[in-house]
Amino acid sequence: MTPPGPETGGDPLDITRKRWGRPEEKALKRALSQPSLFYWRGALTEELLGKFRLHTPTRHAVACSSGTAALHLAVAATQLQPGDEVIVPPITDMGTVIGILLQQAVPVFADVDARTFNLDPNDVAKKITPKTRAIIAVHLMGNPCDMHALRAIADDCGAALIEDCAQAWGSKYEGQPVGTLGDMACFSFNDFKHIGCGDGGIVATNSAEHAAFLGKFADKGYDRINGVRSPDILAPNYRITELQSAVASAQLDRVVKVALTHHRCGTRLATALGKIPGFNPQSVRRKDYSTYWYLLSRYDAAQFTCTRNEFVENLKVEGIVVGAGYLPAPMYRFPVFLNHSFFGGTWPLRDSGLTSMDYRNVSCPVAEQLLDEMIGIKLHESLNLRWADAVSDGFHRVASRCRIRAQAA
């Protein structure tokens, strides 16, 4: 029996998500028909990397176990020394900063732009010090960062520019695919991203030098190319498996269609919500192309008779599932940062005087305000424009009920 939905005249909000199918099943069977599931020279891993380079035109790509691993690889490839600094936004996943801390470097938080919710280049410039070695541009929710501005800042201070594309499959900056603008770019196949294989990642670069290091750092320092198992660096085991590569490769065949669905539904919703006084969706620069992992919008409680959380509860009554906020707080307010408890309850860098960073004194006012005001709508590949219109209609109905009468008049 076909479930009710747009195609059968049912509820447009009742859409069953379907992520996997015959292509993934066939790819897994191919992997299991092999004598080994090890990644090196594995047919499925090689296929995955080939498809990725077509999607994101770069000379080199290294597959790994997660997007977090990809970011750690990229950070390590910059050859950070203890106490070096890496500039990051405070609205991002913990995976963006884990590698920085593990390499004994210092995450430095720069504020975000109030419209795009991405790194504000003006604040990044203010956070540059002689210790700055890298800037990580997080394309939040698929919205491309201002890469020209960040590239100029990075070049001026000699820092590496790393793109965190975990939420940005298919996004474009001024017509150019994200992941092709920085020194290195990191992608995620986490189960919750546009496409996924449970967990997995890729780091891409045009630098042969970086690529050689990335390959070794993902594999305990082993040099697989030359067949040398005598490490000259300390490195983790971030190897992908043929099973992950099989599903990820099949998913890459769908990525253009998936990204297009996210873009169309996200754009439709953002346009509709932007017409409701009191809502300000994440702004996309005119020449850019966002693939909206989530649609985020600011909520101005002064325009309504209810709080943000109450508005969200009203939406749920309409059958619309949204989230109040994204992160509970900017990353520097997470307990691990406030307590500087990164290693056994301590932070050796700070204790030894290699940094004076005190996250209890960090403040990014725009990020703090944004997180207090955000409402988020999750998108996925099975949605359509009828769904987007139904969601926007629900927002309009709730806004009409909750609007302050004096302003409505």
| DSSP secondary structure letters along 296-336 | EEEE-GGGBSS-HHHHHHHHHHTT---EE-SSSS-GGGSHH
Residue 91 dihedral angles phi and psi, to the nearest 5°: -110, 95
> Going by DSSP bridges, is the β-strand pair 85-88/106-109 parallel, antiparallel, or unpaired?
parallel
Sign, CA torsion 202/207/208/210: negative
**Bridging pattern class, strands 85-88 and 132-138:** parallel
Say how far apart CA 403 and CA 392 lie, in whole Å. 16
Q: Is the CB of residue 74 less than 8 Å from the CB of residue 138?
A: no
Q: Cα angle vertex 35, ends 29, 40, to 5°?
A: 95
Q: What is the dihedral of CA 278, 281, 282, 287, to 10 degrees?
A: -120
Residue 253's alpha-carbon distances to 134, 239, 245, 341, in angstroms, are 33, 22, 13, 42
Query: Which residue of the set 51, 127, 131, 193 is catalytic?
Result: 193
Is-catalytic flag, 193?
Answer: yes
Give residues with Cβ within 8 angstroms of 339, minimum separation 6. Answer: 345
Q: Decide if 298 contacts 279 (C-beta within 8 A).
A: yes
* Residues designated as active site: 193
